[in-house]
Amino acid sequence: MLACRPVLGRLPGAEHIVAGGAPWWFGFHGDLKDPAEIFAASVRLTGRLQRTHPQIARILVRTGMAYLTSDSGQAPQAMRDLQAAADNGRLDIDDVRTAVAMAGGALLGVLHLLETSPDLDAERVTDQLASRLLCMFGMTRAEAQELATRPLPSLPAT
């Protein structure tokens, strides 16, 4: 999802975290089975990083675009989640790479918004993002809202 290797190189372990080494980050879904809910939970958990792990969120905001098309890290996981949701008829996705770019770009924008607006409620904003992304991919507003406000899985310790 991200771009500036020199910045990542100066932060011990940061590239490992951003590239997918942290099991509590994007792609962690606990016992969830519905691929659309897994996608929504991943978006919601990643958006919450701005308040729970601001340094990681800052790295994502600053370097995120290149990882949207990376063959490693979070992009392949996002593609698998979205493809599974499309294959199960939960989401309407024509091209999974484009879908990842659309969702990832929106997520990076929200992370930036939360970084520059500390007064915003990160949970509310990221739940709204997840709901709107689900709608963008063909889910009804009512179902998307319900999915995007379900309890999130408990995350393992970092």
Angstrom distances, CA of residue 157 to CA of 14, 23, 29, 107: 17, 9, 14, 23
Q: Which pLDDT value is given to residue 12?
A: 42
Domain 5-147, CATH: 1.10.357
- The DSSP code sequence of 102-143 is HHHHHHHHHHHHHHH-TTS-HHHHHHHHHHHHHHHTT--HHH
* pTM of the model as a whole: 0.81
Q: For residue 140, give both structure tokens.
A: 């009804």
7 contacts: CB under 8 Å, gap ≥ 6? 59, 62, 63
Per-residue pLDDT of the chain (158 residues; tens, 9 = 90+): 333 333 333 334 545 555 554 434 444 566 788 999 999 998 999 899 899 889 888 888 888 787 777 777 778 888 999 999 999 999 999 999 999 999 999 999 999 999 999 999 999 999 999 999 999 999 999 999 999 999 998 765 55
CA distance 154 to 24: 9
Q: For residue 57, give both structure tokens.
A: 């969120």
**Domains of the chain: which residue ranges?**
5-147
Q: How many CB atoms lie within 10 A of CB 157?
A: 4
- Angular region, 122: left φ>0, alpha ψ -120 to 50, beta rest: alpha
